[in-house]
Amino acid sequence: MANLSLNSTLTTPNRDNDEKSLEDLPKARFWQTIDIYRWENSWFEPGLMKTAMAFRSSFPAQDDDIFLASHVKTGTTWLKSLSLCIMQKNHQKHDFDILTTESPHFHVPTIESTIYATKPSQIDLHDASSPRLLHTHLPYAVIPDSIKNSGSKIVYIARNPKDTLISNWHFLNSIMKQNQEPFPLEMAVDCFCSGVYLYGSFFDHVLEYWLESKKRPEKILFLKYEEMKSDPKREVLKIAEFLGKPFENEREVDEVLWRCSLERLKNLEVNKNGSFLFYVPNSSYFRKGVVGDWKNYLTSEMEERINQTSRRKFEAFGLFL
Ligand code: A3P
């Protein structure tokens, strides 16, 4: 079978419906820096959108695939690291730690971002022999039907909206506003709450996966960053069970949690240096990892605005973040 890499497979959309030109789509300025376009009720940077269209129209999901999914800055790097260790634990010698070899974002590529990768992904989409561990930031509405209809599993991580926004504010300022004034926080709150935001409304993104996970709990595991922080053992056991790779003993659990801890990952050479996506330093994925850090930044008006949006979108569906 042809050895097609992730990049070579996801090049051109082939569904008529997806072949929209950018001029047909609503456009907005994001973070005073880039134009984003509205497609399928979400907002995308053009390169990511094109790959997302190709992904949706041509991705061949397999029953044993595992997809990690998240909006941005909700704990993706942590989830990638944990899932990677869990999936590897029976196959590797005890002293081999895959996390020391490359960034977690290399080992578990974000499918639509691979066009910006500095190194080609090693994942072979046609290699049926091993379960593939992949990630996407795409909304549930946009992921391919082949994923939704196959036996593959999805693990989604959500985070408190205020911490998510502050985390992204730091992240985007560091990559889009280098040596410039940060993007005004009032304006960031405004685009966050209005939904004119990279990868679309955070609130709709989380809600869609939440509702799907309620409908199909065997298909989608819904995690919360705050619960992972407050009881990491319980949450990591849950992930391992869901992925069909239960832990054999307590020592294994402790080992995985230690390997994936923020302090450790942040200080690994592979994460301190280099850049897997050409515009994003590997180090920028690791900051404080503190629940409630938003209190150091948001005014009470900003807090209330986000709380109101959150209540309006989530409360009726029993979701509290
Ligand atoms: P803060 O900016 O609040 O510190 P993502 O991985 O989705 O980009 O999210 C990044 C956020 O997760 C950052 O939050 C980062 O510090 C935190 N993070 C990264 N690795 C982590 C880990 N191993 N454990 C806990 N939090 C982690």
pLDDT, tens digit, 9 for 90 and up, residues 200-215: 999 999 999 999 999 9
Residue 219 binned pLDDT confidence (cut-offs 50, 70, 90) = very high
Helix axes 232-242, 250-259, angle to 10 degrees: 100
Binding pocket residue ranges, ligand 1, CB within 6 Å: 70, 72-78, 81, 163, 167, 170, 260-262, 265, 285-289, 293
Instruction: Give me the residues paired with residue 277 across strands.
Output: 117, 280
pLDDT (tens digit per residue) in 6-46 = 555 555 555 444 556 888 999 999 999 999 999 999 999 99
| CATH architecture for segment(s) 5-317 | 3-Layer(aba) Sandwich (3.40)
Per-domain residue ranges of the chain: 5-317
* Residue among 78, 171, 228, 298 whose CB has most ligand 1 atoms within 8 A, to mutate: 78
Range 225-229 contact pairs with CB under 8 angstroms and sequence separation of 24 or more: 225/74, 225/75, 225/78, 225/157, 225/158, 225/159, 225/160, 225/163, 225/291, 226/159, 226/160, 226/291, 226/321, 228/75, 228/78, 228/157, 229/289, 229/291
